[in-house]
Amino acid sequence: MSENTIFIEFHEALAKLSHSQDFINDNRERKLTLLTELVSRLLNAGRVSVWQLNTARNQITSEILFVAKPGSTTGTVDTTSSVLNSTDNPAYFEALTTARVIDASSARSDPRTQAFTKGYFDVLDIHSLLDAPIFDGSRLSGVVCIESHTLRRWTLPEISFVIAIADTISLINTHDNWQRSQRQLDYVTHYDSLTGLPNLQSIRERLTQLIRKSRTDDQRRITLIWIDLDRLKTVNDGLGATAGNMIIAEIANRLRSLYVKGRDKLARIGGDEFALLLRNAESDCTVSDALQRIQSCINEPIHVENRTVSMTASVGVCHYPVDGQDGEALLRSGETAMYHAKSSGRAQIQYFNADIDTSARSRFVLESELRNAIRERQLEVYYQPIMDTKTGRFVSNEALVRWHHPERGWLSPIEFLDVARNAGLMLELGNAVIERVCEHRREAARRKQPMAPTAVNLASEQVLDDQLAHKIGKTLRQYGVNGNELHFEVTEDAIKGDSNTLKTSLNALVALGCQLSIDDFGTGYSSLSRLKHLPFSKLKIDRSFIQDIPADKDDCAITLSILGLARGLGMQVVAEGVETEAHKHWLEAEGCDHLQGYLFSRPLPFEQLLQSFPVAADALS
């Protein structure tokens, strides 16, 4: 038989095998087995193996070996690993990285392979070798090795065939890597890296599939449960983001392990949000049971950073098709219901309905209008005077933001602060208030009408902004206002964390000349040791403790304890919510330093403040 005929026969056999559907669908190990069997049969070779090269290119390990039986075309497959390294066989490894094929007809004397003789060829009775490198893309990744137990001169068709086998394995490598990268891409696209749960994109696609199936069966119902962890930001601020991630991962594991009847898919769809799909839940009782199980598993204490943390969740529930005709509409309904649950006091469950949909749309419009009001400088500041009990003079005032809505008229903070916070607008809102206060103070100075120092509330978002002092300092310089003209009030909740950003921001404000007060004291949680080391000069007693004194003995006791605490720390005290003469007399008698409330004045616009409460220059000294 001529070499041309043999060449064609070899390549036709390879093409028939590699193009067969069974071969294409087989796994890698089975493909290599079939290829090595084919080589052994067509070339009548005693041993055919595929070896892998490590990334350092100094070691090869046998991946699969086909050993032919003497005098037969059958054989056995062996996956036992052997290892050869470049230290003992330098010439071979150099040839492997440069040659297209290693044709060693006399393997024991060939300079490239003779180092294998003692420990390899002698043991296995090998005399001839034909090797072709295998690639993974452009990277050398291994070698296909044909070994003969007799001296043998390899023909051109045989060499060509072995190179074609090596190229086929190279294509298998490339295809496997492409599939692996596709799987990785699919994972990134559809799964959350922290919890390993499916993500929002995954649940969108699943909803689309379920809705498509449900349209052919009117009896099918899909329930979407939207779960939002309450106060995770507080945990992040107090214990750090790592602790927050540990909590998310723990709750994800609990939800993953939770048995819920009709459960279809669980996903993490946001930073602290999860979604659970129920399919064919027979009744509202089934859904109710699922909700109870979800809340219970989340409420179990979590141990993190040597502390025990108790979490709750606000949950929204909606159903297909009544609450949404497609996946996006259903997701919107679930999120809307969840937000309504959160605004109702957290740790609540809310089913979607038309009323909360209308409320959500109204909230969305209000958010857009508020964003525009901040951008267009439409927010106004009113001022409530604060009296010094020792002198009877009004020595400062508190700035309170107001918004004159084009349709709703004047809105107080309670009517739009939640919208601002949920929309991430607190930084912009706070900056707008400070700028308006400084603008008023510049105008008062221009008129030569002294204005008492102004206390401005800082949201927790502002306090944790590492650029806070820089921004305030820039505004002060822009309007020609001294730092001692502004006092800043911070709530207890805003100072829970021990972050360096918090301490740095507060100290930087004091360095500007500003004074700091703790607002609504007694309603949150403050470590006394932390108060001692933070630069506060005032405590402000929350109005809830003032409204029933002196009749309510508990409120009197709480107020007295705050006054005693302040004296011990060398801090002044402001009582807000003073509305009656009884409030005033009792607080004065107990040594409260400053009073604020409707008994003296409601919050006033800038012009009215200057007219009604003029400040003598000597009162500011």
Where residue 589 sits, what CATH number does that domain have? 3.20.20.450
Structure tokens at 452: 């008492």
Per-residue confidence (pLDDT) for residue 530, from 0 to 100? 63
Beta bridge partners of 222: 279, 320
Of 330, 352, 374, the one marking the end of a domain is: 352
Per-residue confidence (pLDDT) for residue 619, from 0 to 100? 52
What residue type is assigned to position 340 of the chain?
H
Per-residue confidence (pLDDT) for residue 568, from 0 to 100? 86
Per-residue confidence (pLDDT) for residue 79, from 0 to 100? 57
pTM assigned to the model: 0.52
Task: For 71, list phi and psi in degrees, rounded to 5.
Answer: 70, 15
Same-domain check for residues 25 and 160: yes
Per-residue confidence (pLDDT) for residue 207, from 0 to 100? 92
Same-domain check for residues 371 and 337: no
8 A C-beta contact, residue 28 and residue 176: yes
Per-residue confidence (pLDDT) for residue 487, from 0 to 100? 95
The residue with tokens 């689309």 is 208
In a domain? residue 620: no
In a domain? residue 358: no
For the segment 498-532, what is each residue's pLDDT rounded down to a tens digit?
567 778 889 999 999 999 998 877 665 555 656 67
Same-domain check for residues 496 and 582: yes
Per-residue confidence (pLDDT) for residue 68, from 0 to 100? 63
Same-domain check for residues 580 and 455: yes
Domain of 256, in residue numbers:
200-352
Same-domain check for residues 48 and 95: yes
In a domain? residue 17: yes
468-479 helix and 500-511 helix, angle to the nearest 10 degrees: 20
What residue type is assigned to position 11 of the chain?
H
Same-domain check for residues 151 and 175: yes
8 A C-beta contact, residue 97 and residue 104: no
DSSP one-letter code for 198: B
Q: How many domains does the chain have?
A: 3
Same-domain check for residues 135 and 241: no
In a domain? residue 490: yes
8 A C-beta contact, residue 134 and residue 62: no
Task: Identify the CATH number of the domain in which residue 82 sits.
Answer: 3.30.450.40
Same-domain check for residues 335 and 369: no
Task: Give the largest Cα separation in the chain, rounded.
Answer: 122
Task: Identify the CATH number of the domain in which residue 287 sits.
Answer: 3.30.70.270
3-state helix, strand, coil in the chain (%, to 5): 50, 25, 30
HSE, CB side, 13 Å, CA atoms: give it for residue 475. 22
8 A C-beta contact, residue 561 and residue 526: no
In a domain? residue 492: yes
Same-domain check for residues 465 and 490: yes
d(CA 604, CA 40): 97
Same-domain check for residues 581 and 481: yes
Residues of the chain with pLDDT under 50: none
In a domain? residue 108: yes
In a domain? residue 445: yes
Contacts of 1 (CB under 8 A, 6+ apart): none
Same-domain check for residues 176 and 274: no
d(CA 34, CA 18): 9
Task: For 572, list phi and psi in degrees, rounded to 5.
Answer: -85, 160
Same-domain check for residues 130 and 269: no
Per-residue confidence (pLDDT) for residue 407, from 0 to 100? 82
8 A C-beta contact, residue 484 and residue 224: no
In a domain? residue 357: no
Of 290, 325, 352, the one marking the end of a domain is: 352
The residue with tokens 């330093």 is 593
Of 134, 164, 186, the one marking the end of a domain is: 186
